[in-house]
Amino acid sequence: MSTVTEREALVGACLFGQSGGPTAVINASAAGVFTEALRSTGRITHVYGAAYGIDGVFQERFYDMAQESPEELHNLCYTPSSALGSVRRKIKSEKDLQRILEVFQKYNIRFFFYNGGNDSMDTCNKVSKYLLKHHYACNVIGIPKTVDNDLVGTDHCPGYGSAAKFVATNIMSMYLDATVYQKGQVTIVEVMGRDAGWLTASAALAARAGCGPDLLYLPEGSFSREKFIEQVKQVLKENRSGTGSCFIAASEGIRTADGKLVASQPALAHDTFGHARLGGLCRVLESYVNDALPSVKTRSVELNILQRCAAYLASEVDVKNAFEAGRHAVRSALEGHTDRMVSFQRSSASGGGLGARFTCTLVPIDASANSVKHVPDSWILPDNRGMSEAFFTYAMPLVQGESKAPFSDGLPRFARLRKILARAPGSAPHVRSSL
Amino acid sequence: MSTVTEREALVGACLFGQSGGPTAVINASAAGVFTEALRSTGRITHVYGAAYGIDGVFQERFYDMAQESPEELHNLCYTPSSALGSVRRKIKSEKDLQRILEVFQKYNIRFFFYNGGNDSMDTCNKVSKYLLKHHYACNVIGIPKTVDNDLVGTDHCPGYGSAAKFVATNIMSMYLDATVYQKGQVTIVEVMGRDAGWLTASAALAARAGCGPDLLYLPEGSFSREKFIEQVKQVLKENRSGTGSCFIAASEGIRTADGKLVASQPALAHDTFGHARLGGLCRVLESYVNDALPSVKTRSVELNILQRCAAYLASEVDVKNAFEAGRHAVRSALEGHTDRMVSFQRSSASGGGLGARFTCTLVPIDASANSVKHVPDSWILPDNRGMSEAFFTYAMPLVQGESKAPFSDGLPRFARLRKILARAPGSAPHVRSSL
């Protein structure tokens, strides 16, 4: 194994990849990585962006990021989705890892940054451990991102703040829309979150602002159809909106006491990682209400992928944090750190108010392995009535500030990357990517 | 019947009501009406806002708008949904109209403004004609609004521009999200529009910006499942996104050649006006793709009510037009006009570019009665491949500029109205509304 001194002095190419589901600010981390790496020419010989995450390594498809304009790289901060392409691929075998090492050697990749959630950190961890085991000196840093906010080892994950701002803002807007008639209605909004309720909890920020859900259902609790109907009836009886309405936010991942997904359908498909493919939870809940209260008007809304790609409504704090996470990864790698994940710490000095400050630090790359960070039970009010002040103290600083996303002719102006494929060492001149 | 001279000199109370489905800018028209009416104290003795549209007349529930702060009235420009409450109620009988006249007499209402779409203009027209027939001098002006943009007699309807901007912006964002993996997928987005395809057509603005649908399905064409599948296969074959993807936008109101709604479900409910309640069209189309192309990944997204209540993403041109429509209604009524609807004309001097200017004028209030303004056939490209340049010239000026919607602590700051109920003439002092 290389020594720390060797690691501190490493010189070579750097490779950055994006993995898993996109977020509104995942490209801001890319911008942070590229900006910092491109100014570190003394140590970093080439700045590569992997096409489609780890698939780009297998296929040796690397974009030469030095050929992009600084303006467009900066504009990545306001461009949703994964600009380099993403992947959901599990590292399944020693053969996969051998191939990765082979490509790293061929391109002299000495700095590797991988941006993703739980599954992607697992990939990053496997690569890191394999390189260590085979004494290939390469500093590996994982960069967290996920709208689910369920990574262990960090105060929060970039992507969550913007998704939370989207959820809260749109629920406030829909709440006004849903209480417009004199005759009440039951509105059910389905929010992303397979295992953890962070994003659904953000709907409570709308309630705090006076335009939000009466009832919240998180995966942290177990769901009972009977209890649900009783709670809806109770809210309708209380008539808090003045129109006999009930507004509900529920996570796609809620389960019954015996562990069954409420959203489960006859033909339940699964994604590559064996997760159930969810959808339609709000329709299931709507059918429960229709069945029990046939005279009550109902409406169900699935926020769907909008909640993870609305860069135009991103939280400014989230954009900055995402950018900073990318920059911190590069700086840490240059300092000789490896086998680590960037983590956010909340500044205790600032007291946790709206203006709480966040600093980047490092944790072991496997800090988040095989575990999910759940919303603390004590932050959830009894009877599905929302979230406690502790949650607001946690979440409010993450949704502060509005994105400065540029518009052109009335529509978003996304980053335009040239995506020039890098030459393999010793090969013919570079060509424009056909993808 | 009163003469024009009498109408020019009318003095009395004014009443404004909101009706039908909300839009992102409907309250901007309310702000325009209230601002103009409150400064016309010489002629307008009271400024009333009807609670829940025409229902407020039947129930004599009028808010005293003079008791609201000018700041909050201005903030209505950035507050979605109907701030006074809305209604979907048909004027069914002579008895209804008698009751309306009775209340107008009681409150000395001499100026009546009603803000809504086709059905609401029908209500406004009936009230206007009844008052004329019974020689009750009251100047009645309809103010158009609808995200559907299907009112005859006006260049466009306030509400459409913001909905179009929301649809185009979010489709651009989702397009990036949907093409992020190396393996392609078919994405189907369902857009509002029962009878006319204006809003679905706005998805083509995203395509024009390079991130938009391959295929568009509007109610103006007839839908064939076989043709649809052939077109999807053709797009997948062309591989335009580079990932073998196909992105589709479809209107909730598309029908087969024999007039059946594609979205129709076993138990099809109807709203008060006898319109079928739609929803789930995207799931129907998704099932067609799953059936014909079982190996292709699919995703369906219903934009749902978000497209009509996202004031934070409103078009600045739309906000201004909506405000101006309200102001023009009041000015016109004070000038003695009645039985008219505010209409927008596009300034020919400005040539129809992005900076096209719009001016308010008046048309007969029944200009839009019993008819729907469809998207011209010649603006729709063959084979569902999108919209022509003529549509872009029409729509682009309507989505220009970004809303200045205020945020506070990271979330929208909506208008806070006091909603003080007006005293009935000769009654006890006013009380705070319990609604």
Contact B305 A55 (CB under 8 A): no
pLDDT band at B242 (very low <50, low <70, confident <90, very high): confident
In the predicted structure, residue B277 carries a pLDDT above the cut 80: no
pLDDT bucket at B208, cuts 50 / 70 / 90: very high
Q: Pick the catalytic residue: B96, B122, B148, B214?
A: B148
Q: B278 pLDDT exceeds 80?
A: no
Q: What is the pLDDT of residue B428?
A: 58
pTM for the full predicted model: 0.94
Task: Determine, for residues B304 and A302 on separate chains, whether the beta-carbon distance falls below 8 Å.
Answer: yes
Asked whether residue B281 carries a pLDDT value surpassing 80, the answer given is yes
Q: What is the mean pLDDT of chain B?
A: 92
* pLDDT at residue A271 in the model: 40
Q: What is the pLDDT of residue A230?
A: 98
| Yes or no, beta carbons of A301 and B301 under 8 Å apart | no
Distance from CA of B5 to the nearest CA of A (A): 39
Q: What average pLDDT score do residues B246-255 get?
A: 97
**B79, B304, B411: residue with CB nearest A169:** B411
- Distance to chain B for A62, nearest Cα, Å: 14
pLDDT tens column, B373-416: 999 999 999 999 999 999 999 999 999 999 999 999 999 999 99
Judging contacts by C-beta atoms under 8 Å, the chain B residues touching residue A178 are 305
For A280, which DSSP code? Answer: -
Q: Which residue of A has its CA nearest to B172?
A: A412
State which residues of chain A have pLDDT below 50: 1, 265-279, 434-435
pLDDT at B4: 64
Is B181–A86 a contact, with Cβ atoms under 8 angstroms apart?
A: yes
Interchain contact, A176 vs B312, CB within 8 Å: no
Q: What is the pLDDT of residue A276?
A: 40
Position A8 scores a pLDDT of: 84
- For A23, which residue in chain B has the nearest alpha carbon? B177
Half-sphere exposure of B311 (CA within 13 A, CB side): 36
Measured distance CA(A9)–CA(A336) in Å, rounded = 7
What is the CA B173 to chain-centroid distance, rounded? 23
Measured between its terminal Cα atoms, the distance across chain B in Å is: 38
Contacts of B416 (CB under 8 A, 6+ apart): B72, B75
Q: Examine the pLDDT at B287 and tell me if it is beyond 70.
A: yes
Assess whether A148 carries a catalytic annotation: yes
Who among B81, B179, B399 is closest to A180 (CB)? B81
CB contact under 8 A, A411 and B301: no
Q: Which of A162, A177, A404, A433 has the most B C-beta neighbours within 10 Å, making it the best mutation to test the interface with B? A: A177
Q: Is the dihedral of CA B311, B313, B316, B321 positive or negative?
A: negative
